[in-house]
């Protein structure tokens, strides 16, 4: 017959393994671009109907990335993609938008035949491009 004293030891061993695993996961979780952005900006993760779970990164001047969580994608994977998208925006000037569909004929926004994308390029020197899934 097994003694009751072994159960707490087993429970403690499981807790120690879980704690070690959590600590190693935190060590692996390195999101430098998110860390830099949240000093003056913000990231948001939540549900946007009817799109589903989304993650966005922005500051008061700019939306750097707007991502839609993929089927089966973990939170860690979504945050990693967001971190990479922020880097792409900061280093290459490519802003990822998976939330707003790309229209075949973009609206003109009161600038004659000049599209919003063209205005953004002229004003900010950047181009908005859809994300590759």
**What is the mean pLDDT, run by run of 10 residues, along the chain of 133 residues?**
50 60 58 94 95 96 96 95 97 95 59 43 50 54
Q: For position 120, what pLDDT does the model report? A: 46
Q: For position 86, what pLDDT does the model report? A: 97
Which residues, including other chains, have CB under 8 Å from residue 57's CB and lie 6 or more apart? 34, 37, 41, 42, 43, 63, 64, 65, 82, 85, 86, 89
**Rounded CA separation 39/115 (Å):** 33
Output the CA–CA distances (angstroms, integers) from residue 80 to 6, 53, 130, 132, in the order listed. 41, 15, 18, 16
Q: Are 111 and 87 in contact (CB under 8 A)?
A: no
**Rounded CA separation 60/75 (Å):** 25
Q: For position 92, what pLDDT does the model report? A: 96
Q: For position 11, what pLDDT does the model report? A: 58
Q: For position 101, what pLDDT does the model report? A: 82
What's phi and psi for 44, nearest 5 deg? -130, 135
Q: For position 54, what pLDDT does the model report? A: 97
Q: For position 116, what pLDDT does the model report? A: 44
Q: Which helix (H) or strand (E) holds 54?
A: strand 52-58
Output the CA–CA distances (angstroms, integers) from residue 79 to 62, 63, 75, in the order listed. 19, 16, 6
Q: For position 123, what pLDDT does the model report? A: 47
């Amino acid at each position: 017959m097994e003694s009751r004293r072994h159960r707490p030891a087993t429970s403690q061993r499981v807790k120690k393994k879980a704690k070690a695993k959590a600590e190693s996961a935190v060590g692996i979780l390195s999101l430098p671009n998110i860390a830099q952005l949240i000093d003056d900006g913000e990231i948001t993760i939540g549900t946007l109907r009817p799109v589903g779970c989304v993650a966005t990164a922005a500051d008061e001047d700019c939306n750097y990335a707007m991502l839609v969580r993929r089927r089966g994608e973990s939170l860690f994977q979504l945050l990693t993609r967001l971190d990479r998208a922020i880097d792409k925006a900061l280093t290459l000037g490519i802003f990822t938008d998976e939330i707003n569909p790309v229209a075949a004929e973009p609206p003109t926004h009161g600038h004659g035949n000049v599209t919003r994308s063209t205005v953004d390029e002229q004003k900010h020197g950047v181009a908005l491009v859809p994300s590759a899934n």
